[in-house]
Amino acid sequence: MTRTVLFAIPALDKSGPDRVFFELLRRLDRTRFAPSIVVSQPEGYYLARLPADVTVHRLAPETSVATRYPVVPLARLVRRLRPDVVIATLRMVLTAGLAQPLFPRATRLILRPANHVSSTRAELTRGAPLKHRVSFALSRLALGRADHLICQGDDLARDLAALRTGVPMTTIGNPVDVDEVVRLGAAPAALPGSPALLATGRLSRQKGFDLLIPAFAPVAAALPGAHLTILGTGPDEVALREQIDALGLGARVTLRGFVENPYPLMRAADLFVLPSRYEGFPNAALEALACGTPVLAAACPGVPGLVFPGENGWLVPAEDVGALTRGLTVALAELATFPPLAVQASVRARFDVGSIARAYERVLGKVAA
C-alpha cells in the first residue's frame, strides 16, 4: 500500500531544515510513499528544485500572526487531502499540533522540532517573558498531540523527554549527500589567511559569534597569518562589526555575508568553527565535515553525536571564551591529524542521505500503520 505523506514547513528555501525536507522529498521510496508539501512562502531555493511528482500546496504568505501560524488553513487543507501522515517542522510544529484536533481521524501527525526546546525558550523568554511563556505552553500542548516525535540527536530527545508528553520518539540525524557536497565544493575557492578559519550561520546570539571573535583575538596575536571568515547575515551584524573594530581585528576577521554555495569555501578552510550556544542539529558543521574539513565546536546541545574528538574534530565547553581560545590553539596545532577523506568518512558512515531516508521511511510506515 502506498501511503500519502504531507510535509509541512514554512518555506523550502535555504535553511538547514529546508534542506532536510528537500532531501527526504527526493529520496522517499515512491513504491511506498506519495509525498506532497505545504508551505507559506510561494518561492524558495529548494522549492524550485523539487521532483516533478511532488505536489506543492501554498498557504497565504506570512504577514501576520494568523498567517505565521496558519492553524485553520492547514486544517482545511489536511481535511481536503486526507493524507495518511502529516510531518511538520519549524513553526509548522506549533501550527500542526494546534490544528491536529481538526484533522481527519485516520491522519497521523509526526512533529520534528528543529531546535533544543528548553534552550530556545530560555533565550526568547529573556526578551519577552510573558509572550514566550505562553508560546512555550502552546508548544508543549502541540507536541503532546503528535503521534510521534523525531529528534535530531540525543540532546534533543532528552530535552523533549523532560516535557513528559508521553509521545513516542525516534532519534534520526540529519542527512547529507556527501558526493553532492563534494561535487558542489569542487569549484576553485580561496579564503584569506594561513591558517584559514571559517564559521557560518545566522548572525544572532544563538550562533555565538560574539564569543568566537574575542576567542580568536589571542590566536590572531600568536599566529600572524591566521584569518577568520564568517559567512551569514542577521540582526547582530552591526554589533559584531563594532566588536571586531574594538578588538583591533578589522584586518583579521571578515564578515562576508551570505554565500549561496559555501561548499568551496568550506573545502578551502583549514578549520571550521561552531561556537553556538545551542543547536537542534548543526547542518553547517555537518556540511563542513562532508567537505573534509575538521570542526572545532562548542559542546552545546545538539553537537555531541556529530563532532567526535579524535575522529573528525574537537569539542570545548559552550559559552566559554577562554576554552574556545585554547581549543583553537590545540586544533590549529593538530590539523594534520584529520585527513579530509577520514573526516568525510565519519559523516558518510552516520549521516548518509540514503540511510537517513530509510530511517524516516521506517517511522512513516510504522506511524501510518
Domains and CATH numbers, the chain: 3-175+352-368 (3.40.50.2000), 178-350 (3.40.50.2000)
Give kind and range of the element (H or E) at residue 255. Answer: strand 253-257
User: Which pLDDT belongs to residue 138?
Assistant: 85
Mean pLDDT of 174-185: 94
- With 0-12 / 13-18 / 19 or more C-beta atoms within 10 angstroms meaning exposed / middle / buried, residue 52 is exposed
103: left (phi over 0), alpha (psi -120 to 50) or beta: beta
Contact 70, 94 (CB under 8 A): no
Contacts of 182 (CB under 8 A, 6+ apart): 290, 291, 292, 344
Q: Which residues pair with 148 in a beta bridge?
A: 110
Contact 22, 50 (CB under 8 A): yes
Find the Cα–Cα–Cα–Cα dihedral 115, 116, 119, 122, rounded to 10°: 70
Of residues 213, 271, 285, 277, the one with CA closest to residue 242:
213
Q: Model confidence over 49-58: pLDDT tens digits?
A: 999 999 999 9
Mean pLDDT of 34-46: 95
Q: Is it the case that residue 252 has pLDDT exceeding 90?
A: yes
Contact 229, 197 (CB under 8 A): yes
Contact 203, 241 (CB under 8 A): no
Q: Which residue has the cell 508528553?
A: 165
Q: Which residues pair with 8 in a beta bridge?
A: 38, 88
Q: Which residues pair with 250 in a beta bridge?
A: none
Q: Model confidence over 115-141: pLDDT tens digits?
A: 766 666 555 555 656 555 677 788 889
Q: Which residue has the cell 506543492?
A: 56
Contact 231, 199 (CB under 8 A): yes
**Crossing angle (nearest 10°) for helices 209-222 and 237-246:** 30
User: Which pLDDT belongs to residue 156?
Assistant: 84
3-class SS of residue 262 = coil
Pull the grid cell for residue 80.
Answer: 481536503
pLDDT above 90 covers a percentage of the chain that reads 82
User: Which pLDDT belongs to residue 325?
Assistant: 98
Contact 34, 14 (CB under 8 A): no
Single-letter amino acid code for the residue at 240: L
Residue 195 preceded by cis peptide, ω within 30: yes
User: Which pLDDT belongs to residue 63?
Assistant: 85
pLDDT above 70 covers a percentage of the chain that reads 95
Mean pLDDT of 178-182: 93
What's the N-to-C CA distance of the chain in angstroms? 10
User: Which pLDDT belongs to residue 116?
Assistant: 61
310: left (phi over 0), alpha (psi -120 to 50) or beta: left
User: Which pLDDT belongs to residue 121?
Assistant: 57
Of residues 326, 221, 215, 220, the one with CA closest to residue 275:
215
Q: Is it the case that residue 76 has pLDDT exceeding 80?
A: yes
Q: What angle do CA 62, 235, 257 make, to 5 degrees?
A: 100
pTM greater than 0.75 (yes/no): yes
Pairing state between β 33-39 and 253-257? unpaired
d(CA 33, CA 365): 9
